[in-house]
Amino acid sequence: MPAPDPASIPLPLIFGPFDPSGASHLPIDAVICAGLGAHAGTVATAIHVQDTAGVETIQRLPAELIDDQARCLLEDIPIGALKIGPQYDPESIATLAQIAADYSNLPLVLQLSAPPLVPDLEDLDPEETVGALLELLVPQAHLVVVDARLPEQWAGQGLLSSARAGDPVGALHEFGAPLVLCCNAPLGPGLNGLVLHAHDQAGGRWPWPAPRVRTGDAESLLATVLCCLLARGLAPADAIAQAVPAATALLERHFHPGMGQRILRHAAS
Return the top range by mean pLDDT from 21-30, 95-104, 151-160, 189-198: 95-104
Q: Compute the distance between CA of residue 113 and CA of residue 135 in angstroms, rounded to an integer.
A: 15
Tens-digit pLDDT profile for residues 214-239: 555 678 899 999 999 999 999 998 99
For residue 119, is it within any domain? yes
Q: Compute the distance between CA of residue 183 and CA of residue 176 in angstroms, rounded to an integer.
A: 19
Does 45 score more than 50 pLDDT?
yes
Tens-digit pLDDT profile for residues 105-145: 999 999 999 887 888 888 889 889 999 999 999 999 999 99
Which CATH number do you get for residue 224? 3.40.1190.20
For residue 264, is it within any domain? no
**Contact status, residue 183 vs residue 112, Cβ threshold 8 Å:** no
Q: Give the total number of structural domains in the chain.
A: 1
Report the pLDDT value the prediction gives residue 211, as an integer from 0 to 100: 63
Q: Compute the distance between CA of residue 83 and CA of residue 45 in angstroms, rounded to an integer.
A: 12
pLDDT (mean) for 59-73: 97
For residue 6, is it within any domain? no
Q: Which amino acid is at 180?
A: V
Q: Compute the distance between CA of residue 157 and CA of residue 154 in angstroms, rounded to an integer.
A: 5
What percent of the chain clears pLDDT 70, i.e. is strictly above it? 91
**Contact status, residue 20 vs residue 32, Cβ threshold 8 Å:** no
For residue 197, is it within any domain? yes
Structural domain harbouring 115: 11-253
For residue 269, is it within any domain? no
Report the pLDDT value the prediction gives residue 3, as an integer from 0 to 100: 46
